[in-house]
Structure 1
Amino acid sequence: MDDKSLMRAGLLVNPRSGQSSGKGLALADKLRNSSSVSVKVLERFDQLPHFIADMAKDGVTDLFISSGDGTVQAIQTELAEKRPFAKLPRLSLLPHGTTNMTAADLGFRHRSIDAQARFISTLDPEDLQARPTLRAVNPKDGNPRHGMFLGTGAVSEATLFCQRAFNAKGVKGSWATFSTLAGAVGRSLFTPANPADTTRFDRPFSIGIEADGRLISQGQQLLMLATTLEKLILGTKPFWGGTGGAIRTTVIPYPVPSIPRWLIPIMYGSETRKGPPGSASVAASALSISSPVSYVIDGEFFDAPEGEPLRVETGPVFTYVRG
């Protein structure tokens, strides 16, 4: 892809991302008549496989995605599972969606529509970053998924609440996450713990995890998260304990001994930090996870097979164009 004569850009826009902010459509309008750019706008989500196949036929080498995390996850899954391209295209994530956690870590740096249009037209990338996906191997519906962040327990419960309470009302991104986190922390500080209260995020979930065949945790946990990103929403880095595998995985026990004592160290501590007693954080290439509630991968919810653990493995490496 270093020979510019062999490079071609594609722009794929989900106009419903970001509460229909219009940014993606404005960018598509600027590039629609360009002979060097293939432009596709998703009117229906079932068009996605056909649009990606068309871009593969057009010889697209660099795919720019105007969307949020959910659309990025769907595109990564289509590219990795169906393999319509002879060689995976480079991706560039334009943070035009409601939630842009992946783009916050790997996304395109230039925010103005004019700057994005100029870059896509000239296609002269200097800032590239490679990162694998994590692959959920055996969801209940039989469709593997490729994403960058997966969670269960309080993570999936809080994400669902955030989507219903904030995103649907137009509060998005870091503000929605901050509001959800602040509300949960406040409730934990000022009301007694109640494990039977299913309206609370801070309740116990029976979660078991094996990492590369080694038992990491079993029993009552608050949450589990796994990611191939270097930082999560609000710039948090809730993982420690080495980088021996591509999938960073953290388990926080229930109950957390002291929210005021452990919140900041868990979220922003160093690689050598210690978590609360009973917590674990590892880097692995594969996971086996048992959980009583649904999983969330980049904003999409799904279940594991009945009576079986969810298997997660390191997915293919994508190259991200950042500027």
Structure 2
Amino acid sequence: MFLTIVVPCYNEEVVLHETTKRLLLVAARLKADYAIEARILYIDDGSIDGTWSLIVRLAREDRRVAGLKLAHNAGHQHALWAGLERAVDMGDAVVSIDADLQDDPQAIVAMAEKYLQGADIVYGVRQSRQTDTLFKRQTALIYYRLLRMMGGNVVYNHADYRLMSQRAVRALLQYPERNLFIRGLVRTLGFREDTVYYDRAERFAGKSKYPLSRMLSFAWDGITSFSVRPLRIITSLGLCFILISIGVIIWALTAYASGHTLPGWTSLLISVWFVGGAILTALGIIGEYVGKIYKEVKHRPRFIVETSTGL
């Protein structure tokens, strides 16, 4: 059996030596315990530091290491997709993991065991987030709950650390969309699934590539890529406003008929501002969906490969 470990990278020069060391230890254990040949495939997502030159050097030092360099920063999801496209023909299964070592590489061994037992998709799920700040833990909890409320089907506390069989990866690659939310797409495949739990560690070195603004943007992409419920909420709010306006009209006509009319500037201003804000919010949400349609219909390539090494 052959296994490919796909590792998207963006400005990860300071951590790649340690990442490679730990993943090669996992590869050695897989070979000794399960006769599984494992390779590492780094995807350089347009890094501006020495990430690519280091990947080239690592590939020259060990044949189990290879690399793919994208011509520009396409984003984590597109870099991961590029790795899956290249890895699908390299072996029987693919593991995706980030380079920062917050996800325990040793969990790959347990994933491989689940695969040998018949699972096509094995999710790496964070058992503990004690290394995260209280703010990050709470916002993550809110995010997962909100995504489920909006109709998104994702595994709680799972990011993009998973093992997929070759047939599962091939099925995933049939999805044509450019607005990628891979952890949501994987749940729609329908193959046999299993779970491996691990404790999330602190980042080994370097800085997080997901500040709050980017996390919020990714969360919004996840909701709008997998659910039309926000549009339905707009419809429901519109109907509520119509019912409220009918009530206000009846009240106003009754007051007029009884001769108790009041200037009502305060209520008028509040109504105008409230309804105006609601309309602008609705237009923004609709615009987000229209923007996604715009990206899809252009059919631009998800990424462009500049060069490779060790492949």
TM range (shorter): 0.3 to 0.5
TM-score between the two structures when normalised by the length of structure 1: 0.31
CA radius of gyration, larger in: 2
Q: Whose strand fraction is larger, Structure 1's or Structure 2's?
A: 1
More helix by share: 2
TM-score normalized with structure 2 length: 0.32
